Amino acid sequence: MRVIWFVVDTLRADHLGCYGYFRDTSPNIDRLAAEGVVFEDSYASAIATGPGFTSLFTGLAAINHGFYLTPWNEPNKPLLDDDVITLPELIQARGPYTTAAFDNLINFRSHMKQFVRGFEYYVNTTCSPAWKHHHVLAEEVNYRLLPWLEEHADEASFVFVHYWDPHTPYNMPERFRGTFDQRSSPPEFRQAPDGYAYAPGWGVEGERLAAEEGTTIDLYDDEVFYVDHAIGVVVQELERLGLLDDTAIIVTSDHGEDLGVHGLWGHATAHETTIRVPLIVRDVKHLDPGKRVRGFVQHADNLPTILEYFPHQDRPGFQRVATGLCMPELPTKFDGADLRSLARGERVSPKEIVVETGEHRAYLAPPWKLIWHTNGSSELFNLETDPLELHDRAVERPALVEEVRGKLRSWVDRNLAEERTDPIFGRNGAWTCYIGDLGKH
């Protein structure tokens, strides 16, 4: 048995056909959904990429792993204590399993090296004599992934695949550009103000696009169609090798994208456009196909789900090996749970969830959603009547705001050890909390 874990960067759930999108952006992902299980209420645990991937790889909420923002100005800053064990390390600790990563995120080498730990095979497609930054295409990832799958076809393996598409700068191959084009003008980005770094196609936080909103959405959908094609190529290769039905395929994302909603661009908010992510599991040997599961699930549920595919093996001559000098005590408690048990009706989903960013916390308990900001303000939405979050009810429902904020504080208290102060409620406005800082407050 093998597990292939596709984490597609910046992929909004509501821009996929299997989540109800009106465009045919995702025929291959939709096929996996039809043959697998779709979790309809899937949310990030933390925003954005660094915090989100840390929750994916540790099974912990941000309040417990402590990573709220990637310190871009401190490239050598340690981001994860060695005592925090990651998913591939846990898999290797259970037996002689093969672990491989095909990574399209340069930050995994320059800023997030904790995610390299535990991978027997680690391929970073951005490594070359020429600086590529985040501009590596999905097909370049596949160029290295497909031969590896054939070479290791007979091994029980965990394979992590990260595609940068459909993140900006929307540099998909020309044959995919214009698939959903309804406008002829390209997007134009404002020049960054003095004192701010600027990367073409990236911009700076808070920067708005000058071109029509629809143009950017067209380009984004082109990118979704392109990365969907890349996933389809991998599925076709698994079929050719006779491995498809012996492979559990999981598709998810680290976060979504605002795309002009609320006048915002990027993915640093706690709105549904950013925090709601797809989660699809195709596993024909353990899960009934075509099932759609309601109820909250989050990033932290990925790790315990994947871990269950790799049972402990006691074999003569096998000794548990860590990637450092020693292996700390292995964790037994996570903030997530096995998704398969939820799909089979063996447990119920939580009634409330919290999504964290460096500047916001979102508390969801249907029908209400509260977004708390570090400046002390709040937004309140009824997601049943206002799923697009167009009508903030905070001013007209102050008592409800205080009630929900109290529940959010209770959640924080339950998750914080006595010796730690809250990294968000305990400070005012600055993104300064990184992994390792929590024990110092």
Residues 207 and 264: their CA atoms lie apart, in Å, by: 8
User: What integer pLDDT is reported at residue 5 of this predicted model?
Assistant: 99
User: What integer pLDDT is reported at residue 106 of this predicted model?
Assistant: 56
User: What integer pLDDT is reported at residue 66 of this predicted model?
Assistant: 79
Q: 3-state SS string over 380-429? A: EEECCCCCCCCCCCCCCCHHHHHHHHHHHHHHHHHHCCCCCCCCCCCCCC
The closest alpha carbon to 297, from 11, 23, 74, 59, belongs to: 59
The closest alpha carbon to 249, from 311, 159, 337, belongs to: 159
Residues 33 and 403: their CA atoms lie apart, in Å, by: 38
Quick one: 206 and 57 in the same domain?
yes
User: What integer pLDDT is reported at residue 290 of this predicted model?
Assistant: 96
Q: What is the CATH number of the domain that holds 188?
A: 3.40.720.10
In-domain check, residue 220? yes
Radius of gyration from C-alpha coordinates of the chain: 21
* Contact by Cβ (8 Å): 267, 234: no
Residues 191 and 197: their CA atoms lie apart, in Å, by: 10
Q: How many CB atoms lie within 10 A of CB 70?
A: 23
SS3 38: strand
SS3 247: strand
pTM for this one? 0.86
Residues 29 and 226: their CA atoms lie apart, in Å, by: 11
Helix axis angle, 213-240 relative to 27-34, nearest 10°?
60
* Contact by Cβ (8 Å): 266, 258: yes
User: What integer pLDDT is reported at residue 252 of this predicted model?
Assistant: 98
10-residue mean pLDDT profile of the chain (441 residues): values are 96 96 97 98 91 92 80 55 85 94 67 76 70 71 96 97 90 91 53 41 42 74 97 99 98 92 80 96 96 96 97 61 50 87 93 89 95 89 94 96 93 75 54 33 30
Q: How many separate domains does the chain show?
A: 2
User: What integer pLDDT is reported at residue 1 of this predicted model?
Assistant: 87
In-domain check, residue 326? no
In-domain check, residue 402? yes
Q: Could you tell me where the beta strands, DSSP code E, fall in 9-152?
A: 37-43, 98-103, 121-124
SS3 82: coil
In-domain check, residue 95? yes
User: What integer pLDDT is reported at residue 284 of this predicted model?
Assistant: 96
Quick one: 89 and 221 in the same domain?
yes
Domain extent at residue 384: 353-440
SS3 172: coil
Residue found by looking up tokens 């007979």 in the block: 154
Residues 138 and 129: their CA atoms lie apart, in Å, by: 19
Quick one: 290 and 373 in the same domain?
no
Residue found by looking up tokens 């929307």 in the block: 170
Q: Could you tell me where the beta strands, DSSP code E, fall in 184-283?
A: 247-252, 279-282
In-domain check, residue 39? yes
Count of residues for the chain?
A: 441
User: What integer pLDDT is reported at residue 50 of this predicted model?
Assistant: 83
Domain boundary among 301, 324, 343: 343
Residues 416 and 414: their CA atoms lie apart, in Å, by: 6
Quick one: 336 and 425 in the same domain?
no
What type of residue sits at position 151?
Answer: E
Give the helix ranges, DSSP H, for 280-322: 302-307
